[in-house]
Structure 1
Amino acid sequence: MAKPTRLTREMIDEYIARGYWDETSVAQILRLNAKNYPESEAIVDGQTRLTWSELNRVTDAVALGLLDMGIKRDQALVAQVPTPSTTLLILLACHKAGIICCFPPLTFRQNEMKHVLKTLNAVAVVTPLTYRNTDYFGMVKEIADDLPQLRLFIVTGDEAPQGVIPFRRLLETSIGDKDPEKYLASQTFAPFEVSIISLTSGTTGMPKCVEHTGASSKAGGWGVVERGKMTQKDIMGDIAPLSGGPGLQNWWAGFQVGAKICLLERFSPEGTLELIEKERVTYLAAIPTQLIKILRDTDLTRYDLRSLRVVRTGAAAFDAALARETEDKMNCKVLIAGGAQETYSFGQTGVDDTLEKRLYTLGKPFPGNEVKITDGKGKECPQGEVGELFVRGATTSSGYFGDPDRTVEAWGELGKGGWYRTGDLAKIDEQGYLVLVGRKKEMIIRGGQNIYPKEIEDLLLSHPRVMQAVVIGIPDPVMEERACACVTPVKGQDFTFDEMSSFLKRKGLAIHKHPERLEVMEEFPQLVDGQKVDKISLKKMILET
């Protein structure tokens, strides 16, 4: 059994009693969807269209193929693949076969891949031969000598070197006279076992390997269903990367209601709008940077978006003005969520929330989770006071794989008493809604006064010529720190310090919070997950100029 690091029987029983967990496995949900909606489309991308019955049959074949290769229960497979449908086939097949799976982003290179493969003691790896001028297979072979447990190399695509297994062979595995459900019954993961590993962005070094069970993943998806009032008739456009929490969390939502889920191999603003128009998408799941590019780089009036009713996105780099602009231009409701790999979501707005709550809060605590705001000394803050956000509950991770010490460091203790320290600064308003203020470690102290970068970033993002904005603290011998704004303008536009200052003044920002330096850049350095700005590298660049 893939035993979770911090999960106890007491916690399992409590989450079941509260209605957030049950005994149904991921494999059982897939078989139920195949029975109830056999001819309904399940997943669609540029290369694949599969109904629920086809998806069930294909993942049976892949699961049997993986077992035929000698992979044993609770061993790990790591798949770094560009095609989202392939990711989902592997995900579901691994649940059926009892194989722990992990999906690093395509931006990971030798160092990150070696770390992940070694931490998980992975016996199999799936990559393309090459993709967009990167030799992924060669990259893995280069580090293979340092990974003696890694023995199976599987490649996607039409060609495979001698001695390497083509993924299509798994797709063609003969089921014969086997009854896959009975044959795989002893292998299939139960909902309370570690089944999938998510990876953090690696802001403090190598990425951490975050455990999730089928139960925590299902709970993470079901909260999305509830807040968005999703049904089997919805058509989801899930363009958030499946290597990260948002993409998979939205998949778990659509999966559980049997909705059609449409995916993009490679994001582009135009490709997203074409997908919505062609597939009649009703529910779009995207990360903030994707939505900003859609708003800034396209003519939305050229596309038929009338089917769209909900856009779900994250809190990072997405402010109230952008949310309102999205609602106005795309004629839908924007639901903003906040979370981490360790928690799925800790808060999310819902379709029944008022416009003000949808724009300015993260909604109420996510279904199944508890939150508390602490003062840094272990005491809970009064309502309305800013402090660090702690989270625990049904959607949270069961810990860091193979690392109980780091798990205790993050949660305080193993078991029910542990609270995950998010590092986010937040408060709870008088109606019980969660309001995110910023990151604890990013707070700027200027002359003894606290400045929260997110407040300034949100205002700058509301400027029509600003594409991205990051505010960092730079050392000052007199004031301790001063705020520096880093901006990437909309393509073909400019943005000056005087323009920034006058804009922030008109917005009513307190003078001591005004950035005292502006850096205009073509692009920001990215973390290895390709989804977040590398603020440590950005600050280093600024200090060196």
Structure 2
Amino acid sequence: MTVALHDLLPAGLRRGWAVDGTCPDLDLYSLFRARQIADPHATAVIDAKGKLCYTALDRKVRCLAAGLAGLGIRPGEVVGVQLPDGRGAVIADLALAALGAVALPFPVGRGSLEAEALLRTAEAVAVIAAAEHRGSHPAAALRVLGPALPGLRHVIAAGRVGSTPEGTIPLTGLLRSDPAAFVPARPDPDSAARILVSSGSEAEPKMVAYSHNALAGGRGNFLASLMPDGTPPRSLFLVPLGSAFGSNGTAVTLARHGGTLILLDHFTPEAALAAVREHRPTHVLGVPTMVRMMLDRLEGPGPDTDGLPAPTALVLGGSALDETTAEEAARAFGCPVVNLYGSADGVNCHTGLGEETRGADAAGVVAGRPDPRVADIRIADPDTHERLPDGEIGEIIARGPMTPMCYVASPELDARYRTPEGWVRTGDLGLIDEDGILHLVGRLKDIVIRGGANISPAEVERELAPHPRVRDVVCVGIPDRLMGERLAACVVPRGPEAPTLASLGEHLTRRGLERRKHPERLLVLAELPLTPAGKPDRAALRERLTRTAPSAPGQAPAAPLAHAG
């Protein structure tokens, strides 16, 4: 049985973007193959194993596609991919595209319960996973799920010869398949190519189906706007290729633009800075927390403080980017800092190369000018979905070439987050000013309710970011018997001396934030924990605060938390 993936966008719109050239109207493997033919010896991937050119990559892709076909994997079937960033993840992506199958990538680090939910809901017939990665054993863990997943026919383990767990199929064997007789499937460019997994706040992650055209076209147009001279990009991905942000890797950097992927199998600030120096990327893609970690290393003693070769752009998304971080990063990297607002659900807006990242004001965080070649963005009444005039705050909705097809096997999510005309409801609050600039105000649901009063954590984070002793900050709500919830600030200090709760309150008062919105708990950390997708792990922080009694009134004990890249 194959999961049904239907397109909620009007067919005329989708076809119109192909006809007018907004989308390339080719499947991902055909686009990649054209790039390989045009420049066969260009470098496609740089990873821990070295460089891999387009021709060598294409041969590995065809071998794996032939091997997967030999296992009986057919067009339209879903195959999970849980691999660290590296050539293996790229080969799997392109091989599945060549088969006409649908890739379901998710980062290494997601737990077995979450993996089971993803594979079960998507009716995956196979999964490709690492035999071992940084002490974990994803393939073995997935093999154990077999009885709970009757539709999962194969677990394919990527690793050294002899390292594959019992009951799994070695990826090395499939890569030795004869590619000579393999014929690519050439799927419909408007059919499903990839399922993106949202790292949002739902009990189970949302899965969103994207077509070949939406990835190479809509998402490809986003990256094209950051390539001023059209030169193929050299993109350093600090985020996992298996994340929604990481979908700009194989499908966009390689297939659409013929560029080079620079990949780290695990993020550390030291490894990221070394990659910038050695490989001179044109684009560095990450989340603000990662860049703040890199800035910390640049400020300290040692080799990391040497000057950096300037990229074309530092592209930051996944969480709010404050003005202080943007200014410091622009000075340190010597390039524009692009503030990307986007999600797996199908919204994208960014500040662009020629715009300075402005701080938050009464209108919220500046997200940039919407690009209809990527996604048209409107502000709508949250209840009626009617368009609101410029300047009024409402729900941000989006529709355009990058709009996904549907949520996977979740008609209730389709009903909740898609309008009858195909617009995606983001759940974010914003406004569009008289100059056509989108401002992000907050979340419809991301509210801490203290004694019946609503507090937006995003608003408090924006006001705390300029504090001279705050390098990074996340605010979360924690349960409280008396007030229902209280707001806690989780802070990575700037410099050796951490801020106190009192100093944060004084700062917020000077910024004009009313007293009822001030944090009442403080957790000081060496680094913020990150989710497998590379975003600040709010759930881990909330759990830590909930189970840890304050060591002093209002303050939780200072201690580092490990982060997952």
Q: Give yes or no for TM over 0.5.
A: yes
What corresponds to 1:430 in structure 2?
A: 434
Q: Distance in 1 between matches of 2:222 and 2:514?
A: 40
Other-structure match for 1:282: 282
Match of 1:143 in 2: 145
Q: In the alignment, is residue 504 of structure 1 matched against residue 508 of structure 2?
A: yes
8 Å contact 2:351–2:357 — kept in the other structure? no
**Which amino acid is 1:267 matched to?**
F
What residue in structure 1 maps to residue 562 of structure 2? none
1:453 CA drift (Å): 2.5
Unaligned 5+ segments in structure 1 are none
Instruction: Determine the structure 1 residue equivalent to 2:399.
Output: 392
Between the aligned partners of 2:113 and 2:477, the Cα distance in structure 1 is: 30
Change (3 A) 1:481 1:190: same
The answer on whether the counterparts of 1:442 and 1:453 sit within 8 Å (CA) in structure 2 is: yes
Q: Which residue of 2 aligns with 1:316?
A: 319
Task: Using the TM superposition, give the Cα deviation of residue 404 of structure 1 relative to its aligned residue in structure 2, in angstroms.
Answer: 2.7
Letter in 2 for 1:60: R
Alpha carbons 1:227, 1:349 under 8 Å: kept: no
Which deviates further from its counterpart, 346-355 or 318-327? 346-355
SS in 1 for 2:145: helix
Cα distance in 2 for partners of 1:405, 1:450 equals 27
8 Å contact from structure 1 (residues 472, 485) kept in 2: yes
How big is each residue's C-alpha offset from its partner over 1:408-438, in whole Å with a ceiling of 9 and x where there is no partner?
A: 221033xxx0221111111112210111111
Q: Give 1:499 deviation, angstroms.
A: 1.6
Contact 2:280 2:311 in 1 (8 A): yes
Q: Is the 8 A contact 2:475 2:487 kept in 1?
A: yes
Q: 1:476/1:130 Cα in 2 relative to 1: closer, same or farther (>3 Å)? A: closer
Q: Is the alpha carbon distance of 1:63 and 1:441 closer, same or farther for their aligned partners in structure 2, counting shifts above 3 Å? A: same
1:280-313 deviation line (CA, Å, top 9, x unaligned): 2121111222111111233486334224221001
The one-letter amino acid of 1:280's match is: R
Q: Is the 8 A contact 2:319 2:535 kept in 1?
A: no
Correspondent of 2:475 among 448, 471, 476: 471
Q: Pick one of 95, 113, 116 that aligns with 2:115.
A: 113
The 8 Å contact of residues 241 and 249 in structure 2, kept in 1 or not, is answered as no
Q: Is the 8 A contact 1:155 1:167 kept in 2?
A: yes
Q: What pairs up with 1:332-351 in 2 under 5 angstroms?
A: 332-343=335-346, 345-351=347-353
Which residue, 43, 53, 77 being the options, matches 1:51?
53
Partner of 1:368: 374
**In 2: Cα distance, 1:210 partner to 1:358 partner:** 30
Cα distance in 2 for residues equivalent to 1:488 and 1:302: 20
Q: What SS does the aligned partner of 2:390 have? A: coil
How many residue pairs get matched?
A: 534
Query: Match of 1:421, as an amino acid?
Result: R
Shift of 1:166: 1.4
**SS state at 1:212 partner:** strand
Report the Cα offset of residue 518 of structure 1.
Answer: 3.0
Compared CA separation, residues 516 and 455, structure 1 to 2 (3 A): closer
Residue 80 of structure 1 aligns with which residue?
Answer: 82
Aligned: 1:405 with 2:412:
yes
> Which residue does 1:494 correspond to in 2?
498
2:508–2:518 CA contact under 8 A, matched in 1:
no
Letter in 2 for 1:502: E
What do residues 447-499 of structure 1 show as CA deviations (whole Å, max 9, x unaligned)? Answer: 99764332321232333432432234568999987644332435854220122
Q: 1:39, 1:51 within 8 Å by CA — same for their partners in 2?
A: yes
Q: Structure 2-normalised TM-score? A: 0.86
Q: Which stretch shifts more, 274-283 or 530-539?
A: 530-539
Measure, in 1, the Cα distance between the counterparts of 2:436 and 2:236: 30
User: Counterparts of 2:409 and 2:477 in 1: how far apart (Å)?
Assistant: 35
> CA 1:535 to 1:124, structure 2 compared with 1: closer, same or farther past 3 Å?
closer
**TM-superposed deviation, 1:20:** 2.2
Quote the Cα distance in structure 2 between the aligned partners of 1:447 and 1:229: 51
The one-letter code matched in structure 2 to 1:254 is T
| Pair 356,210 (structure 1): closer, same or farther in 2 beyond 3 Å | same
CA separation of 1:198 and 1:141: change in aligned 2, threshold 3 A:
same
Q: For residues 537 and 279 of structure 1, what CA distance do their matches in structure 2 show?
A: 35
- Secondary structure at the aligned position of 1:441 is classed as coil
Q: Secondary structure at the match of 1:236?
A: strand
Task: Give CA deviations for 1:308-333 in whole Å, capped at 9, x if unaligned.
Answer: 22100116132111111111121110
Q: 1:515 to 1:31 in 2, by over 3 A?
A: same
Q: 1:376 to 1:447 in 2, by over 3 A?
A: farther
C-alpha distance in 2, partners of 1:112/1:480?
Answer: 29
Task: Summarize the alignment of residues 86-485 of structure 1 with structure 2, pairs less than 5 Å apart.
Answer: 86-158=88-160, 159=162, 160-161=164-165, 164-176=168-180, 178=181, 180=182, 183-184=183-184, 187-201=185-199, 203-218=201-216, 219-229=218-228, 231-255=230-254, 256-299=256-299, 302-314=305-317, 316-343=319-346, 345-354=347-356, 356=358, 361-366=366-371, 367-378=373-384, 379-413=386-420, 417-444=421-448, 451-473=455-477, 483-485=487-489
Contact 1:501 1:514 in 2 (8 A): no
What is the letter of the counterpart of residue 30 of structure 1?
Answer: F
Cα gap change, 1:459/1:228 in structure 2, threshold over 3 Å: closer, same or farther? farther
Give the Cα–Cα distance (whole angstroms) in 2 for the partners of residues 24 and 475 of structure 1: 51
Taking structure 1 as reference, are residues 55 and 543 closer, same or farther at Cα in structure 2, changes over 3 Å only?
Answer: closer
Q: Do 1:63 and 1:94's aligned partners in 2 also have CA atoms closer than 8 Å?
A: yes
Q: CA–CA distance in 2 between the matches of 1:499 and 1:512?
A: 13
Check whether the contact 2:239–2:246 (CA below 8 A) recurs between aligned residues: yes
**Residue aligned with 2:406, SS:** coil
Structure 1 residues 354 and 465: alpha-carbon distance in aligned structure 2, compared to 1, 3 A threshold:
closer
